Amino acid sequence: MPATIPKAPASLEADAERLYEELKAKLHDVVPDVELWYKARLAAKIMALKEARNAIILGHNYMEPALYHSIPDFTGDSLELSRKAAQTDREIIVFCGVKFMAETAKILNPDKVVLLPSERAGCSLAASITAEDVRQLRARFPGVPVVTYINTYADVKAESDICCTSSNAVAVVESLKSETVIFIPDEYLARNVARETGKHIIVPARLPTGHVHVDDTAVDYQIIGWHGRCEVHEKFTVEDIEAVRAQFPDVVILAHPECSPEVVEAADFSGSTSAMIRFVERTEAPRYLVLTECAMGDNIAAANPEKEMLRLCSVRCPHMNQITLEETLASLQHTQHVIDVPEDVRVRALRAVERMLEVG
């Protein structure tokens, strides 16, 4: 055992030993033993501090396996964690996810302290659009409702009519009963929603001048999208799927709706991170390929040891990857990094988030 970790009090040591045994039972095929031993000690310290500080820990499905299987009170997709954030009576919410998720928790809980363990946990989708872009889209398409993916920052949500996540995007669009909607900022999610709802889509561009440009020759469209992409899911291709099917004809392929429509069409199932987890749990096939962030493949493999999870390569989200047990411990020890949303922005963003939660 490593000698570098200072000796913990007896009860903490007993908790660490118990956590180590639990992690070893689930993750012995996925994480080296010495790493599990070290991480169990960190997790035990976090659990003790979490109780002492009356905190709740929410963990997104993309968290690395040892963190995912040890410290969160709840794990889930963006929608499930938003609901948990709305329900908690704890004083502190530690969000093991990325900044837009922690901001959503703060929007729903203005009087609580919301902590994000790393300041570097962003998102390429959230970075792709500004509040000014939304104002320009509204000016160009007056009266058209704005549906905003939850993977955006609070000021963009504040300009929107309603939010959605990957698990309710179609239901949210249909709930508006509007012939045309603005759906931002994920181009691929918008194209997948267009495919499912039978709508046509156009995607305006932002010019170097900062102006939003719309193709005026386009006439037949009911979804106005945006050019945001997830830097993880845009990497998957139809050729990847064909190559895996050629080698393993019985493989069941799942794709997150942030993948391109061609990839989603070539897959057997598409859904949110939690929908994909449930699909593997409830399906009897022996072999799966999950086209999403790779840590989630490890988490599914640990929960379903009798099923084989194929890997294309290690596609990790560089933002989710910033959230470690070390950073989470420091977050609770030093109350960092505190998420703040200006009150005027929060109140307007809350309307869009609450309207989504009402849709279900």
Kindly list the residues in this chain that would bind ligand 13P in the complex (CB under 6 A): 61, 77-78, 151, 165-166, 230, 256, 258, 272-273
CB of 166 to ligand 13P, least distance (A): 4
For residue 334, is the peptide bond before it cis, meaning its omega torsion is within 30 degrees of 0?
Answer: no
- Which of 36, 147, 232, 323 contacts ligand SF4 by CB under 6 A? 232
CB of 167 to ligand 13P, least distance (A): 6
Q: Which does 327 bind (CB under 5 to 8 A by kind): ligand 13P, ligand SF4, none?
A: none
For residue 337, is the peptide bond before it cis, meaning its omega torsion is within 30 degrees of 0?
Answer: yes
Q: Which does 70 bind (CB under 5 to 8 A by kind): ligand SF4, ligand 13P, none?
A: none
DSSP 312: S
Side chain identity at residue 101, one-letter code: M
Q: Which is nearer to ligand SF4, 61 or 222 (CB)?
A: 61
Q: Which is nearer to ligand SF4, 155 or 293 (CB)?
A: 293
- Which of 61, 70, 75, 124 contacts ligand SF4 by CB under 6 A? 124
Please report whether residue 123 would count as binding ligand SF4 according to CB under 6 A. yes
Structure tokens given for 168: 């309710």
Please report whether residue 182 would count as binding ligand SF4 according to CB under 6 A. no
Please report whether residue 98 would count as binding ligand SF4 according to CB under 6 A. yes
Q: Which is nearer to ligand SF4, 70 or 151 (CB)?
A: 151
Q: Which is nearer to ligand SF4, 37 or 297 (CB)?
A: 297
Distance between CA atoms of 293 and 256, rounded to whole angstroms? 9
- Which of 161, 258, 298, 327 contacts ligand SF4 by CB under 6 A? 258
Q: How far is CA 326 from CA 17, 168, 186, in A?
A: 18, 33, 32
Region 270-299 residues binding ligand SF4, contact defined as CB under 6 A: 293
Q: Which does 124 bind (CB under 5 to 8 A by kind): ligand 13P, ligand SF4, none?
A: ligand SF4
Q: Which does 165 bind (CB under 5 to 8 A by kind): ligand 13P, ligand SF4, none?
A: ligand 13P
C-beta atoms surrounding 324 within 10 Å:
18
Q: Which is nearer to ligand 13P, 260 or 273 (CB)?
A: 273
Beta bridge partners, 254, equal: 269, 290
Q: Is the dihedral of CA 85, 86, 90, 92 positive or negative?
A: positive
Structure tokens given for 223: 């979804």
79: left (phi over 0), alpha (psi -120 to 50) or beta: alpha
CB of 231 to ligand SF4, least distance (A): 5
Q: Which does 299 bind (CB under 5 to 8 A by kind): ligand 13P, ligand SF4, none?
A: none
143: left (phi over 0), alpha (psi -120 to 50) or beta: left
CB of 256 to ligand SF4, least distance (A): 8
Distance between CA atoms of 323 and 353, rounded to whole angstroms? 24
Residues that bind ligand SF4 (rule: CB under 6 A) add up to a total of 13
Q: Is the dihedral of CA 175, 181, 184, 188 positive or negative?
A: positive
CB of 296 to ligand 13P, least distance (A): 9
Going by their DSSP bridges, the two strands 212-213 and 205-206 should be labelled as: antiparallel
Which H helix or E strand runs over 270? strand 269-270
Distance between CA atoms of 241 and 144, rounded to whole angstroms? 37
Q: Which is nearer to ligand 13P, 40 or 123 (CB)?
A: 123
Distance between CA atoms of 178 and 174, rounded to whole angstroms? 8
Chain residues that interact with ligand SF4, rule: CB under 6 A: 98, 123-125, 151, 230-232, 258, 293, 317, 319-320
